[in-house]
Amino acid sequence: MKKLVAECIGTAWLVLGGCGSAVLAAAYPELGIGFMGVALAFGLTVLTMAYAIGHISGCHLNPAVSVGLWIGGRFDKKELLPYIIAQIVGGIIGASILYIIVTGNGTTDIGSFAANGYGAHSPGGYNLTAALVTEGVMTFMFLIVILGATHSKAPKGFAGLAIGLALTLIHLISIPVTNTSVNPARSISQALFAQGWAVDQLWLFIVAPLVGAALAGLVYSFISKDAH
């Protein structure tokens, strides 16, 4: 239960910090954070939680990460579903807090609420194929970094830094394409509030990250002499 509470809190922080920067600070050009600021915010949420709860739950904060670690032999199958549920609940809690803040100035228009999309709802107008490839490949590389940085032979104490910076880089690449998911819990939480097109397109931001993560688990198990 302690692990699940930690995952819930961590995922809420990821959504509140990452999506919050996009919905709140990035909405005001004079603040100047832009895509780079949002990318950094997402990376910082993972970096801070890695050192806060990594020793408790492993700091997955993402169903795709849990799946990739399971496929890669780093995570017990019996814990997979409870972790995913805790992450989704945490994401919804984070989005709920963000909604309260966003509507606190009297507005009822939350816009896209940092939801993920493709086609007309892609920041750069990228199509379905581009979105699928982006989300699948970015999640694949994210898991390669996670599996490598947390390997028993990797330098100790630096995993959180590597993983946080990897997520920052991933956002710098893919925000223009899909608004960056690589995390089904993050996408579900925002789509529930944005509704409409965000819910219709949600399937891609569940399927592509999960497939990319599973492939990374298989590949890293193959290229690593000691998958554990």
Q: Identify the CATH number of the domain in which residue 112 sits.
A: 1.20.1080.10
Domain count of the fold of the chain = 1
User: Is 225 among the domain residues?
Assistant: no
User: Is 111 among the domain residues?
Assistant: yes
User: Is 25 among the domain residues?
Assistant: yes
Residue 139: pLDDT above 70?
yes
Q: What's phi and psi for 151, nearest 5 deg?
A: -65, 150
User: Is 227 among the domain residues?
Assistant: no
Q: How confident is the model over 151-194, as pLDDT tens digits?
A: 988 888 899 999 999 999 999 999 999 999 999 999 999 999 99
User: Is 226 among the domain residues?
Assistant: no
User: Is 59 among the domain residues?
Assistant: yes
Confidence of residue 33 (pLDDT cuts 50, 70, 90): confident
And the tokens for 16? 């509140």
User: Is 161 among the domain residues?
Assistant: yes
Ordered DSSP codes for 114-169: T----GGGSTT---HHHHHHHHHHHHHHHHHHHHHHTSTTSPTT-HHHHHHHHHHH
> How much is the pTM?
0.93
Mean pLDDT of 124-133: 97
Residue 145: pLDDT above 80?
yes
Report which DSSP code applies to 61: -
User: Is 228 among the domain residues?
Assistant: no
Structural domain of 119: 2-220
Q: What's phi and psi for 69, nearest 5 deg?
A: -70, -35
Confidence of residue 102 (pLDDT cuts 50, 70, 90): very high
